Structure 1
C-alpha cells in the first residue's frame, strides 16, 4: 500500500534550486533512502515532507490526505514521526520517562505533566522499550547510556506517537560500526512489523545499501536515479557523480553484509 506520495516538489533559495520536480513514493513497511553529495537537496526534501520547509510548488500526500505546507506539529499529529542526526532525548530523565513524556504529549495531557507524569502510560512506555531492546534499562538515566542505546531510546520516543511514516535524519551518525548495523536491522524489523514507512538520509554507504528497499539519489536538487540497491549500484551516472570507485566498493561490501543472517 502506497503511504507517502511526493509529487513534483520545487524549492528555490534565491537563484539556487534546492529541489526541482522531486517525485517519489514510500509504501507502508518500506525503507527508502535519500542519498547524494553535500548540497544535493536531501535536507530540503526532508523538510518539505516534515513541515519544516514550505515548498514553492508541488504536493505531499500522506495516506491519501494532503499535508503540503502544514506546520511540522500538525504533520506529526497526522502520523509523521522523526529522529534526528543528534539524538533528541532528555538526558536527566530515565529511559522510561522519556518515552512517557512522548506519550503524554501525543495524548494531549501536558496539563497533568507535573502531577503524576511518572505514572502516566508507564506500561505502554515499557512495551515500546521492549520492542527496541531497552526495557531492562527503563529506570536508568539516559545520561548513563552508550550512544547506540540512546539512539534506540530515541526510536522508541518516535514510535510513541504511533506514526505511519518515520523520517530519520542520519540515523547512524556518531555510532560505531556494530551499533550502526544493530540500529538499522532494528529499524527494518520495526518498519515491517508495524507497517511503518521509513524515509531516511544516510552518508554511511554500508547502512544504505544493506537496509534500504529502494534508493533515491539527489544531485543539485534533482533525482538522477531511483530504484533497488542493485539497480542504483550499477547506474553509471550515480558512480560518476556520487559513489565513485571507493563508494562502489562500499556498496558491493554492503551487498555481502546484508546476505549475512542477523
Structure 2
C-alpha cells in the first residue's frame, strides 16, 4: 500500500534547476534509496520531502494527505521521522534523556514541565533504546558513546514519534563498515516489523544495494533510472553517470562517488 506519493516536484535556485519533475512513491514497509553523483539533487529532493525546503511546483502526499507546504514540525506530528547525516543528539545528556526529550515533544508537554523532565517517559525511552540495542547504555552520556552507538540513539529518537515514514540522510556516514551493515540491518528489521516506509540517501553503494528494495538515481535534478538494485546496477545511463564509461563491466556495487 502506498504511503508516500511525490508528484512532479520542481525546485529552482535562480537559473539553476535543482529538481525537475521528480515523481516516485514509497510503500509501507519499503526501503527506497535515492542515489546520484554530487550535485545530482538528492539533498534537494530529500529536504522537500522533509519540509526543510519548499518546492516550487508539485505535491507531497502522506497517506493521501497533502503535506507539501506543512512545516517539518507538523510533518513530524503527522508521522514523518528523520535522522541526519551528522547525528543530532544532546551530547551532555544520557541516551535515555535524549529519547525522553523526543517523547516529551511528541506528547506536546514541552511547555508543561511541572515535574522534572527526567521523570517523564523513562520506561518508554528505555523500551525504544532496547529496540535499537542500546538499553544497557541508557544512562551513558551521548558524548561517551561510540559514533555508531550515537546513530542508534538517534534512530530511537526518530522512533519516539511513532513514524509512518522515516527519512534517513546518509545514515551510515562516518561509520565503520561493520557498523554500517548492523545499523541498516536493524533499520530493515524495524521497517518490516512495523510497516514503516523508509526513504534514504546514501553514498555507500554496498549499503544501497544490500538493503534497498528499490533505488532511484538522480542526475542534474531528474530521475534517470528507477527499479530494483539489480536493474539499476545494469542500467547503462547509471553507469555513465557514475563511471563516465558506458563500457564498464562491473556494476556499481562497492563504489562510493566523491
Band of TM-score, shorter chain: over 0.9
Task: State the shift of 1:252 in Å.
Answer: 4.2
Aligned twin of 2:61: 61
Task: State the shift of 1:72 in Å.
Answer: 1.2
Cα distance in structure 2, aligned partners of 1:15 and 1:248: 37
TM-score, scaled to structure 1:
0.93
Aligned twin of 1:259: none
1:175-194 pair list within 5 angstroms: 175-194=175-194
| Secondary structure at 1:203 match in 2 | coil
- 8 A Cα contact 1:239 1:248, kept in partner: no
Aligned twin of 1:99: 99
Cα distance in structure 2, aligned partners of 1:27 and 1:106: 24
Question: Are 1:141 and 2:141 counterparts?
Answer: yes
Task: State the shift of 1:112 in Å.
Answer: 3.8
Task: State the shift of 1:116 in Å.
Answer: 2.0
Kindly provide the CA deviation profile for residues 69-105 of structure 1, in whole angstroms up to 9, marking residues without a partner as x. 2111111111101000000001111111100000001
TM-score, scaled to structure 2:
0.94
Task: State the shift of 1:161 in Å.
Answer: 0.4
Give the unaligned 5+ runs of structure 1.
255-262
Cα distance in structure 2, aligned partners of 1:116 and 1:122: 11
Kindly provide the CA deviation profile for residues 4-54 of structure 1, in whole angstroms up to 9, marking residues without a partner as x. 000011111111110000000000110000000111111110111111111
| Secondary structure at 1:207 match in 2 | helix
Aligned twin of 1:153: 153
Cα distance in structure 2, aligned partners of 1:80 and 1:248: 39
Question: Are 1:207 and 2:207 counterparts?
Answer: yes
Give the root-mean-square deviation of aligned CA atoms: 1.6
Task: State the shift of 1:115 in Å.
Answer: 2.6
- 8 A Cα contact 2:233 2:251, kept in partner: no
Instruction: Sort the Cα spacing of 1:155 and 1:127 in 2 relative to 1 into closer, same or farther, 3 A.
Output: same
